Amino acid sequence: MTKPESRPEPQPQLRPLPEQKTQPSHAPVAQAEMRVSDADRERIAELLRDAYAEGRLDADEHADRIGAAYAAKTFGDLVPLTRDLPGHRPLSFEKPPLEAPAPRAVTPALPPARQESPSMVAIFGGSSRKGRWRVGSHLKAFAAFGGVEIDLTDAVFESPEVEIEVTALFGGVEIRVPENVSLHGGGVGIFGGFDVKEQTAADPYAPVVRVKGVAVFGGCEAKPRRGKKLKEWVRKQLGTE
């Protein structure tokens, strides 16, 4: 008997290796690494100025962040500067098309400030002045068996320094100022009280209110009102209006 011929064992077929894709040298740069323009820096600086005017940043924080904004090179440098502020918007290097400009926020117009007399008198009654009124460099308040209320928290300061001269006879004078202005002064209390809670504003350009006078069998109290800030003066000094 003859042996059957042996057949060669089939060899496994090797599949071709997939082609490896090489990373193109022109891969897009991450947005955080994109270089910023002067307009981008100025936009962030404007948000920081508004935050400072609203009291969200103190003088040192504002100065540090403004310096960092103008020194920024990329969008990644700018983002942390406004991330904790209400006006923060995600930064983008994409420019809006010319036919569709970004809408501008409309700020409601404030009522015009009233022109008031530089003197306030209350005799057997009361006199009050508050809201948007124009205060000059000098104001007199006289109270006899009555009361005078002077509220400067929404007033428009026309002078960097305001002097308030108080005379209280068997009456009282109450003065309230924004918390971000300087308040100084004092007076004489005869069988009465004269209390001025002095403070110095962080902004060297903020208005200064000085109170002086006398209270006989009466009183005078001048103090800042917490939570009320004078915005118009601060914004004017920053050059944003």
Q: What is the pLDDT of residues 90-134, one digit of tens each?
A: 555 455 455 555 555 555 556 677 888 999 999 999 999 998 899
The strand pairing partners of 178, in sequence order, are 225
Quick: pLDDT tens for 2-60.
555 556 566 656 566 555 555 554 545 567 788 888 888 888 888 887 777 777 888 78
Q: Which residue has the tokens 């090179």?
A: 73
What average pLDDT does the segment 71-76 reach? 87
What per-residue confidence (pLDDT) applies to 8? 59
What per-residue confidence (pLDDT) applies to 240? 42
What per-residue confidence (pLDDT) applies to 234? 44
What per-residue confidence (pLDDT) applies to 35? 86
Q: Which residue has the tokens 């502020």?
A: 85
Nearest to 202 by CA among 221, 187, 184, 180: 180
Nearest to 221 by CA among 182, 171, 181: 171
Going from the C-alpha of 177 to that of each of 50, 117, 142, the distances in angstroms are 21, 18, 18
Nearest to 186 by CA among 213, 206, 163: 213
pTM exceeds 0.85 for this model:
no
What per-residue confidence (pLDDT) applies to 187? 94
CA 184 to chain centre: 24
What per-residue confidence (pLDDT) applies to 239? 45
What average pLDDT does the segment 211-230 reach? 92
Give the DSSP H or E segment for 52: helix 38-53
What per-residue confidence (pLDDT) applies to 108? 55
What per-residue confidence (pLDDT) applies to 238? 43
Nearest to 237 by CA among 204, 209, 205, 208: 205
> What percent of the chain is modeled with pLDDT above 90?
37
Give the SS3 label for residue 42.
helix
What per-residue confidence (pLDDT) applies to 12? 57
Quick: pLDDT tens for 139-173.
999 999 999 999 999 898 888 999 999 999 999 99
